Structure 1
Amino acid sequence: MALVTKGSRLIHVDGTSYRWRLRGRPTYDRGLAATPLAYAVELAEAPGTTLVVTTDQPHPGNWIGIPGSPVLPAHVADSIRTALSAGWTPETPGSPFHLAPVRD
């Protein structure tokens, strides 16, 4: 399934173009800060498997007022590199590849 173009941003990582998107309004669970923020990434030209990155922070628009920091392009680039080294193949169609934060 391809990402919606509206609201998505392009990012170039190691010579490849990707499109990433963060949901503008939080879902119910993310609004209550019960589940962490997540965003999706895919190849820009020929999308295959979508990368779903779950962060360790709340959605910035949560209703509880817990402060959340924005997702920066540098974080997205790091997530893409981590997912590629973990086996994500963005050009091959398939189920979403999930990347969760490493907890100490």
Structure 2
Amino acid sequence: MALGHEGARRIVVDGTVYRWRLRRRPTYSQALCWSPCTYAVEHADSPGTTLVVTTEQPHLSNWLGGVGNPVLPSDVANAIASALRQGWVPTRAGSAFHLDQSVGFSTLP
């Protein structure tokens, strides 16, 4: 599963270049604050396994006015480092690697 180039942002972590993308519009479930915001990361030069990060906050464009914070590049860098420690190999082909950071997510806005 490869990320589209449009809307993907570049980030460098420990000398390795990655691309990450957050959906501009929330999914139906995210729009109703039933599920948290997610974003995807892949190796920029040799995309293989995609990292899917589930945050602990609602998507900023949710329909219920749930308050969240923007996903910052520092958040993405921390998630990449955490996933690498947990065994994510971004250049190896395979199913998506899921990193769940939604411990504090509440379905109530």
Q: Take 2:71 and 2:103, find their aligned partners in 1: how far apart are those partners?
A: 18
Q: Is the 8 A contact 2:57 2:102 kept in 1?
A: no
Partner of 1:23: 23
Partner of 1:103: 103
Q: Is the 8 A contact 2:18 2:42 kept in 1?
A: yes
Partner of 1:89: 89
Q: Which 4+ stretches in 1 moved above 4 angstroms? A: none
TM-score by length of 2: 0.93
Q: How many pairs are equivalent? A: 104
Is the partner of 2:12 in helix, strand or coil? strand
Q: Is the 8 A contact 2:32 2:64 kept in 1?
A: yes
The residue correspondences of 1:34-53 to structure 2 (distance < 5 A) are: 34-53=34-53
Where in structure 2 are there 5+ consecutive unaligned residues?
105-109
The farther-off stretch of 93-102 and 70-79 is: 93-102
Letter in 2 for 1:56: E
Deviations 1:28-85 (A, max 9, x none): 0000000000000000011000000000100000000111110000000000000000
Instruction: Report percent identity of matched pairs.
Output: 58
The residue correspondences of 1:55-94 to structure 2 (distance < 5 A) are: 55-94=55-94
Q: Take 1:56 and 1:71, find their aligned partners in 2: how far apart are those partners?
A: 11
Where in structure 1 are there 5+ consecutive unaligned residues?
none
Q: RMSD between aligned alpha carbons?
A: 1.1
